[in-house]
Amino acid sequence: MKTTQLSGAHAFIHSIMHEGTDTIFGYPGGAIIPVFDALYDYFDKIHYVLGRHEQGSIHAAQGYARISGKVGVCIVTSGPAATNVITGIGDAMLDSTPLVVITGQVGTNLLGTDAFQEIDVVGITQPITKWSYQIRRPEEIAWAVARAFYIARSGRKGPVVLDFTKNAQTGLVKHYQPEKCTFIRSYVPVLKPNIQKIEEAAQLINQAKKPFALIGQGVALGNAEEELQEFLTKADIPAGWTLLGESVMPSDFPLNKGMLGMHGNIAPNLKTNECDVLIAIGMRFDDRVTGDLSTYAKQAKVIHFDIDAAEIGKNIPADVPILGNVKTTLPLVTKLLNKNTHTEWIASFEEAEQKEKELVIDYEIHPKNGAIKMGETIAKISEATRHEAVVVTDVGQNQMMAARYSKFTQPKSFITSGGLGTMGFGVPAAIGAKIGAPDRTVVLFVGDGGFQMTMQELGTIMQEKIGVKIVILNNNYLGMVRQWQELFHAKRYSSTPMQNPDFVAIAKAYGIKSERVSERSKLDTAIDTMLANDEPYLLVVDVEESGLVYPMIPAGTCVTNIIVNGEKIKL
């Protein structure tokens, strides 16, 4: 498109549309009004989703980006609106979610004067973004937008912030022309594979007697799910996954051995310290996965696939680093692998798997009496959706239980806040996920505490008629904090009991159908009612107040220090 004259605000809308944007989340305000005024002319081309709080809007953009693979776009005004999106920006940075966040800003003549709703957005956001830039002249808009989208979606994906001054929005651009950015000097988003390291990795794997793979979100971000399965299958390598790596492999994939980390499955955690070659694929050795670094996988040679050079050797030294997009690097290694079998090694997982089934899983999902359990609720819903739903979680016990007891048949089906652990993420992220995947069932599992942090976004669900299914696992506590207080702080339940409102009445006020279930005999029917159509629905399930998420590795201890019912597992 070329024109003789265009306002900065209109040039901005044309520029983001040139990048493929068709959905925007946000909240208007004084310093961004010109952009919203321009947006009014494009509602036939752009779906604008009005949140009820800026934090809700940016989490919705995250959910949309995670499920769709597109760059999430969030537009808010200056001052408190800009500071309200900081949590989402930090969350996106830690979880490698591609976002372009636009904040309004006072005119350049007022910068530095402490003008009304002025805040140093660039200064605040630079440490938690891939790039943060202030647009001061309308002539910069096409360049800045093209650069922002390129940085957000390339290499290790992440958030970018454009701080948009008022005069740049209202000023005129002569001879506007949208730009496309494909190169930035000194920015190398993906390095070319080092063939020598590829060969070294293949040699190590071919010689391994007890190989074990750790799968992270990098596989999903690289769209390398098929390449991963081919790699694992050819060399017969069992694999565990991180929280953000869930659903990268189908739950019934024969080499899928379950979740790693603090509340992960027993077998993959134990086998981390027994394998002879540890293969990390698109994961960053987070402390919740490794526990005590001084005791982690000391017996193993480590191969680390990652797109970000900064992650290689940051926590765990790599004997063979392989930099690049795993969609490219994995097949290069697979090509050099011998067709292999590790029957005895894989069979050695079975004892721990059976122990966990007896001590934890059967107790959690097939209880014979007592209050409804989180695990059984989640397992029933997973079964009722044929394991095809997109599962979104908030943070806490609901998150860990959903990760443990949901099953998946499709990739990109599990959305949660990993690195930052943001309570309040769930409701808005589920909104974004449903908008990004309108033909899929989206189920949110959220605690009573996390729900109340962003429950105002029920207004967004009402206005947009978004058919998300919200399941409040209600235990009248901040459950995960309560668990730590019970296990490590002598049951001193400081500030964790919660007196909750009538969630059903709140849903009714927003015109959303709802039901509350306290009896196990009514749970199946309530689930069927919730899933009967694509309307929004809120199901409140009163679960046991004293429920604990087991197994558990106490923070900072060895990954083999696994406790169940307060006692260390012995095999």
Please name the residue ranges forming H helices in 254-386.
Answer: 266-272, 287-290, 326-336, 343-347, 350-356, 362-365, 374-384
Candidates 17, 70, 117, 513; catalytic one: 117
Which residue is catalytic, options 36, 55, 139, 166? 166
Q: Examine the pLDDT at 1 and tell me if it is beyond 80.
A: no
pLDDT of residue 278: 98
Residue 489 and residue 449 in contact, taking contact as beta carbons nearer than 8 Å: no
pLDDT in tens, 74-102: 999 999 999 999 999 999 999 999 999 99
Structure tokens at 109: 């003549």
**Per the structure block, which two tokens stand in for 422?**
């943001």
253 is catalytic: no
Give residue 255's pLDDT.
98
Contact status, residue 62 vs residue 91, Cβ threshold 8 Å: yes
For the chain, the average pLDDT equals 97
Using CA atoms, how far apart are residues 132 and 125, in angstroms rounded to an integer?
7
Across residues 486-492, what is the average pLDDT? 97
Instruction: Tell me whether residue 157 is one of the annotated catalytic residues.
Output: no
**Residues 6+ positions from 544 with CB-CB distance below 8 Å:** 370, 371, 372, 373, 475
Pairing, β 47-50 against β 72-76: unpaired
pLDDT-derived band of residue 258, with 50, 70 and 90 as boundaries?
very high
Token pair, residue 23, equals: 């959905």
Answer whether residue 3 shows pLDDT above 70: no
Residue-range domain boundaries for the chain: 3-176, 195-350, 371-543
Work out the number of other CB atoms within 10 angstroms of the CB of residue 122: 16
Which of these is catalytic: 116, 126, 180, 299? 116
Catalytic residue among 19, 54, 118, 356: 54
277-306 pLDDT tens trace: 999 999 999 999 999 999 999 999 999 999
Percentages helix, strand, coil for the chain (3-state, rounded to 5) are 40, 20, 40
Phi and psi at residue 183, in whole multiples of 5°? -160, 135
Q: Does domain 195-350 have CATH number 3.40.50.300?
A: no
Structure confidence by residue, pLDDT tens digits, 49-79: 999 999 999 999 999 999 999 999 999 999 9
* Amino acid present at 155: G
| Active-site annotation holds for 166 | yes
- Helical H runs in 266-323? 266-272, 287-290
CB 348 within 8 A of CB 273: no
CA–CA gap between residue 381 and residue 410 (Å, rounded): 16
pLDDT score, position 419? 97
Q: Is 116 a catalytic residue?
A: yes
371-543: what fold? Rossmann fold (3.40.50)
Domains 3-176 and 371-543 equal at CATH topology level: yes
Predicted local distance difference test score (pLDDT) of residue 120: 98
Contact 235/338 with Cβ under 8 angstroms? yes
Phi-psi region of 509 (alpha: psi -120 to 50; beta: other; left: phi over 0): alpha
- Percentage of the residues of the chain whose pLDDT score is greater than 70: 99
Residue 461 CA, chain-centre distance (Å), reads 21
Taking only the tens place, the pLDDT of each residue in 457-475 is 999 999 999 999 999 999 9
Encode 236-255: b = buried (16+ Cβ within 10 Å), e = exposed.
bbbbbbbbbbbbbbbeeeeb
Main-chain phi, psi angles of 128, to 5 degrees: -125, 25
Confidence of residue 4 (pLDDT cuts 50, 70, 90): low
Question: Tell me: domain 3-176, CATH 3.40.50.970, correct?
Answer: yes
Q: Which of 93, 262, 480, 530 is catalytic?
A: 480
